Amino acid sequence: MLDDAFTEVIDRDPATGLSSDPATGHPRPPRREFKARGSLVRRCAGCNLPALNCLCPYRVGAESTARVWLLTHPLEHHKPTNTGRLIRDVLPDTEVFTWYRTAPDERLLALLADSRYAPFVVFPDDQPDYAESVVGMDAVAVEKVHGRIPVFIILDGTWRQCRRIFRKSPYLDSLPVLPLATERLTRYRLRKPASAAHLCTAEVAAELLTQSGDVTAGEVLDDYFDVFNDSYAASRRFEKLETPTAAMRRLRSRQADA
């Protein structure tokens, strides 16, 4: 069985010896090369999936009124099973910021202060200390009426990492908190969730887009996620998907109609 691990390829600053952050280009301390089962698997340079079942032929872009900004734990960048990157494949306006507790991204801070945007932190409403900040999807609709661009800030990491990001990021404290209300159960098969109700990052984004009115974008992302999920799972079994799945056929049809 293939493992999540893979050999990281990084650029080093010859003057400092530091590697650059995958999302921002900022320098960071070098990481020891990480090798495990699956580390030598030949991967597609475009989608990072095992080349046996490349995702690139099914990539379809979409437009949306709302935006997605990912606040990603640095360890997530090194996981081929991370689904946050699927969002940027579908929605080119997606922003990705790497979270560091003591060094908030200056560009993120500038965008949070930009009056064109109405940012919402996507997080459960399960604690009383921020109950007054919790809003529903109707708040997103109101911002659209006022001519602002709704932004879903999705915390990208393990559940424990996301809670830490939420609690240790003072610049998020003043933002409305938008819990995802859905009956959907996860279809993600590449990591074991603590609960079937815990959706992965791409599933959360697809649900938010659909519920906020960007139905086509939500459908495209949902299909793209399914193709990723099926393709990666098959590659772990060393199987080539010879027959296109329903999601693959729908994405191909969208490509033909574009």
pLDDT digits 0-9 by tens, 155-214: 999 999 999 999 999 999 999 999 999 999 999 988 887 778 889 999 999 999 999 999
Q: Is there a domain that residue 18 lies in?
A: no
What pairs with residue 180 in β-bridges? none
Asked, for residue 38, whether it belongs to a domain, the answer is no
42 in any annotated domain: no
Residue 25 confidence (pLDDT):
61
In a domain, 152, yes or no: yes
Q: Which domain holds residue 85?
A: 58-257
pLDDT at 11: 43
Q: Between these two residues, 240 and 12, which has the higher pLDDT value?
A: 240
The count of residues in the chain is: 258
C-alpha distances in Å from residue 234, one per residue of 7, 82, 86, 115, 193: 21, 16, 18, 45, 19
Domain membership of residue 4 (yes or no) is no
pLDDT of residue 6 exceeding 50: no
- Cβ neighbours of residue 135 under 8 Å, at least 6 residues apart? 120, 176, 177, 178
Number of domains in the chain: 1
With respect to residue 35, please indicate whether it lies within any of the assigned structural domains.
no
Q: What is the pLDDT of residue 19?
A: 58
pLDDT of residue 243 exceeding 60, the answer is yes
Question: Is 116 in contact with 146 (CB distance < 8 Å)?
Answer: no
Q: Collect all residues with Cβ–Cβ distance below 8 Å to 120 and sequence separation of at least 6.
A: 135, 139, 140, 150, 151, 152, 153, 175, 176, 177, 178
Name the pLDDT band for 83 (thresholds 50, 70, 90).
very high
Buried b (16+ CB within 10 A) or exposed e, 60-71: bebebebbbbbb
Rg of the chain taking only CA atoms, in angstroms: 19
CA distance 198 to 185: 7
> For 115-161, how does the pLDDT look when each residue is reduced to its tens digit (9 = 90+)?
999 999 999 999 999 999 999 999 999 999 999 999 999 999 999 99
In a domain, 212, yes or no: yes
Distance CA 9, CA 176 (A): 38
pTM: 0.85
| 182 domain residue, yes or no | yes
